[in-house]
Each structure stands twice: as C-alpha cells, then as structure tokens.
Amino acid sequence: RWDFPGAFYFVGTVVSTIGFGMTTPATVAGKLFLIIYGLFGCAGTILFFNLFLERIISLLAFIMRACYERQLQRSGLLPPNFRRGSAVSGVGSLVGWKPSVYHVMLILGIFAVTLSCCASAMYTAVEGWNYVDSLYYCFVTFSTIGFGDLVSNQKATYQHQGLYRFGNFMFILLGVCCIYSLFNVISIVIKQILNWALKKLECRCCPKCHKSSSRLSRRNAITPGARLRRHNAAAEAEGQNDSDTEGRRLSGEMISMRELTASSKVSLAILQKQLSETANGYPRNVCINTRQNGFSAGVGALAIMNNRLAETSDSR
C-alpha cells in the first residue's frame, strides 16, 4: 500500500538496510530515486546508529560509575558526602576506572532480549504468528537481515491500526539501534579473544618464549646462577633508581638516602677530626657565636646541628 504510512514503512526498511522485498519500486523514476535517496539515507542512518551507540555507552558508563561509587561508599573507601568532580575523585579506586566491556555487553544483551520478547508478544497478538516465529522475525528484522518470509504490517486492516503502526515503527527503530550497538560490543569482545589466542599461539610457536616457559616449568626449582642473576638485576635496579631519584625524595620520607649518606660522611669526618685533636692535646676552636649563644660543639651529628644553629642564630 502506497499511502503515507505504507511509504514511510518502506522508507524505513530501505534506509535501515532491512529490505524485506515485499514492497519495491516499479517505475524507472522510482528506481533511480531509490538509488539516489538510498545512498544518502543509508549513510545518514548509519551515522544515527553510531551516535545512538555513543550515547547509550555514555549512559551505561554513567550508571555503572554511579553504582561503583555507591559500592565504594558502602565499603568505606569513599566518604559519604562524596561529590563527583571533587578532589576525592583523584585518589583511591576511582583513578583510571573504566566500565568493563563485558558488563556493557551483558546489559545490552538483556535489553535486546527484553525488547524482542515484548515485540514478539505484540506480533503474536496482532499478526497471528506463534511466539517462536515472532522471535525469529524480531531477530531477522532487528539485525537487518530481512529475509522477507515474515513481514509485519501487510494486512489490509488491523484493529487499532494507527497504534499498531506506531508501535511497529518504534519496536523496529529501537530494536535495530540496540542490536547494532550489541553487535559492535560483541565485535570488540571477539577482537580481544582473537588477540589473546594469537598471543598464546605466538608464544607457543616462538622458541625463545617456549624455552623460557620450559625453564620455569617447575615452580620451586632453583636453576644454577639464579641467585647471581637476581643479585645483578637488583644491583642494576638500585643503580638506576639512584640515578633516577637523584635530588628527589620519595613520598613519606623526611630525607632522601643520598642526603643521609652525605651527612653521615660529614659527621664521620668531623668526629675523626675532633677525636684526633683531643688525642693530640690540641685545643678545639670553638666559634665565638657558639659561646655567646650557649651552643656546645658536641660530636658527630650533634656538632653539625649545633654549628648550623650557631650560623643562623645571628639572624634570629
């Protein structure tokens, strides 16, 4: 039927690439117009599906992040008055958090199954099909396969025809968008599985990896030279850390290891000098400022601190 609802239904099957084949253009002008319109219409529909996928993933990520934050609040890892965008969001388990693709696939799968079950119930009641045929029609239509053996909205009259046409259009639109998003997420999962399988296959085929894995086959075995290799690796790591952390302090340290070593060397030199002067009977030259301010010279690290206090006491 080439009335407006029928033509609108036909255009929807064209731009969504379903193509049942029950309704086709008969004239040359209609076929040429379909080629030109289908070129832009299919491209625009694919763009719409991609935008729908982006929005639905953003919505699912927002909901999953809110659920994750509530779970952290219940476990005590986040304060109860936590607000998104505050300084607390930069610490803890929320740093670098991303939703799992498997959770997104599960949610989209549940939504697609629920939508297909609801649409199948409508087609069973209106079209007179059995429930399995209705589910089959939903999958063929929503996945844009479009065999054409079962096509909805083909009878001359329906009870509540306007409401049924609107419901049919909405179910097809939402179903195609949902299945398209689900197919994209499934393709990501398949890609991850293939990358994992190829990596495992490459490691098994690679002689070097196979040799290293056979060397570590026994869990508690100690191979000859293992301790020497560990000692060399630890020495290299320590030297690299010393060069990398020069002039810097680790978090929570009052003084770096390099500064502590330098101060110990200075303390040892002063201590040796003072002990030598005491043993030889030479008088120690005590700073005048030290005598005036009551600072005793001391020995070792205490002498360094006292001398530093004596140097800065004039300015205080």
- pLDDT tens digits for 263-314? 666 566 665 666 566 556 555 454 444 444 444 444 444 455 455 555 444 4
Residue 229 lies in a domain: no
CATH number (domain holding residue 31): 1.10.287.70
Average pLDDT over residues 191-213: 78
User: Which one is predicted more confidently, 303 or 1?
Assistant: 1
DSSP-assigned letters across all residues of 44-92: HHHHHHHHHHHHHHHHHHHHHHHHHHHHHHHHTSS-TT--TTSGGGGSG
| 146 half-sphere exposure, CB direction, 13 A CA radius | 16
| Per-residue pLDDT at 168 exceeds 60 | yes
Residue 250 lies in a domain: no
Selection from 58-67, 130-139, 214-223 with the highest mean pLDDT: 130-139
Long-range contacts of 135-138 (CB under 8 A, 24+ apart): 138/171, 138/175
So what's the pLDDT on residue 170?
A: 95
| Per-residue pLDDT at 251 exceeds 50 | no
Q: Does pTM top 0.85 for this prediction? A: no
Asked if residue 278 lies in contact with residue 289, where contact means CB atoms within 8 angstroms, the answer is no
Q: How many domains, the chain?
A: 1
Average pLDDT over residues 166-193: 94
Q: Give the confidence band of 14 by pLDDT, cuts at 50, 70, 90.
A: very high
Average pLDDT over residues 82-91: 52
Distance linking the first and last C-alpha atoms of the chain: 100
Q: Residue 88 has which token pair?
A: 């607390």
Residue 86 lies in a domain: no
Q: CA-to-CA distance for 121 and 52, rounded, in angstroms?
A: 25
So what's the pLDDT on residue 156?
A: 84
Range with lowest mean pLDDT among 135-139, 174-178, 198-202, 290-294: 290-294
Q: CA-to-CA distance for 228 and 225, rounded, in angstroms?
A: 5
Residue 16 lies in a domain: yes
Residue 298 lies in a domain: no
Q: CA-to-CA distance for 14 and 25, rounded, in angstroms?
A: 11
Inter-axis angle of helices 207-215 and 161-205, nearest 10: 80
Q: Residue 98 has which token pair?
A: 């991303």
CA separation, residue 148 to residues 55, 117, 167 (Å)? 31, 20, 20
Q: CA-to-CA distance for 173 and 146, rounded, in angstroms?
A: 14
**Structural domain span for residue 151:** 4-74+99-197
Beta-carbon contacts of 224 under 8 Å, excluding residues fewer than 6 positions away, are none
Residue 109 lies in a domain: yes
Range with lowest mean pLDDT among 150-164, 166-180, 189-203, 214-228: 214-228
Q: With b meaning 16 or more CB within 10 Å and e meaning fewer, what string describes 49-75?
A: beebbeebbeebeeebeeeebeebeee
Residue 242 lies in a domain: no
Sign of torsion over alpha carbons 273, 277, 279, 280 = positive
Q: Residue 197 has which token pair?
A: 């399988």
Which residue from 71, 127, 125 is spatially nearest to 97, judged by alpha carbons?
A: 71
Residue 8 lies in a domain: yes
Q: CA-to-CA distance for 248 and 238, rounded, in angstroms?
A: 15
| Per-residue pLDDT at 149 exceeds 60 | yes
